[in-house]
Amino acid sequence: MTNLKRYFTLYAALWKNSVTREMSFKGNFILWIIVELLWFGLQLCFVSVLFSQTESIGSWTKWQMVLLVGASNFIQQLYQAFFLTNCTNLSELVRTGKMDFLLLLPVNTRFLVSLRVVDLGAFVNALFAVCVMVFAAIKLNLHPTVGQVAGFATLCAAGILIHYSLMFILATICFWTVRAQGIVWGYYNLFNIARMPDEAFRGAFKAVFTFALPVLLVSNVPTRVLADKIYSPKVWLLLLAVGAAWAVIAEWFWRISIRRYTSASS
C-alpha cells in the first residue's frame, strides 16, 4: 500500500506538471481541441454521406454507426490523453540520451516513460464523443442498464490497453533504430478503421484487423454492448483475452528492448 501511495503521489505530480504546461500555451491548447472536433465532425459527415446511398451496412443502421463512431472516438481520445504523446516521445528520449536520467530515478522506468505527459485537451474531446453517443442512443431508443454501461467501460479500458500495448511495442523499436515515430504514427492512423462496422470487411483483412492489429475488435465490441448487438459472451472474453495477451507481450518486449539501450554518449 505504501508503494501504491508513492506512485499515486508521483502521478499526481505529473498531472500538475501537465496542467502547468498546457495553461502556459492556452492558444495551442484551444486550437488542438478545435482541430480534433473538426475531424470528429468530418467523420460524422462521412456517416451521413454513406447512409444517403444505403440504408444499412450489414446489420448496422445509421444511428448505430453514429454510436460506433462516437465510441471509437471516445476510446481514441482517452488513449491519446494518457499514452499517445509518451509513446511517440520515446524515440527522442533514446536519441537525446534523456533515458539515462529516467533509468537512474528510484521508480519503475516504464511507468515514467508511459505516463509522464497527460494530454488534457483529449479529455474535452472525449466528452464530446460521449455527447454524440448519448444522442445516438436517444435516436435508437436505447436504455442501457447499469451492467451494460459497466461492461462498456470495462471493454473500453481493455481496448485502450490493447492500443497502448501495441503502440508501446512499436515505440520500443527505437532501441534498435533510434527513430521510430513513423512506425508509431502509422499504427495511430489505423485508428480510422475502427469507426467502421466489422461487418463491412471480409476475409484476411478482417482477420488481421480483428486479431493481429485488433482495431475493429476494440471499437465494435463495446458499441455492440450498448446497442444490444452482442448475442454471446465469447466476444467479451475475446477482447479481454486479446488485451491481456498484448499486455504480457508488451512487457516482455520492453524488457528485451531496454537491454539494448547504451545511452546517447556510447
pLDDT tens digits, one per residue of 176-206? 887 777 777 788 887 888 888 888 888 888 8
* Arithmetic mean of pLDDT, 35-49: 89
Element (H, E) at 188: helix 181-189
| 263 is a domain residue | no
| 265 is a domain residue | no
- What confidence score (pLDDT) does residue 127 get? 95
| 264 is a domain residue | no
| 119 is a domain residue | yes
Cell of 102: 529516467
| 42 is a domain residue | yes
| 79 is a domain residue | yes
Closest CA to 65 of 238, 255, 198: 198
Q: Determine the residue type at 188.
A: Y
- What confidence score (pLDDT) does residue 234 get? 81
Number of domains forming the structure of the chain: 1
Could you list the residue range(s) of the whole structural domain that residue 60 is in? 2-258
How far is Cα 196 from Cα 265, in angstroms, rounded to an integer?
46
pLDDT over 60 at 266, yes or no: no
Mean residue pLDDT of the chain comes to 88
Percentage of the chain exceeding pLDDT 70: 98
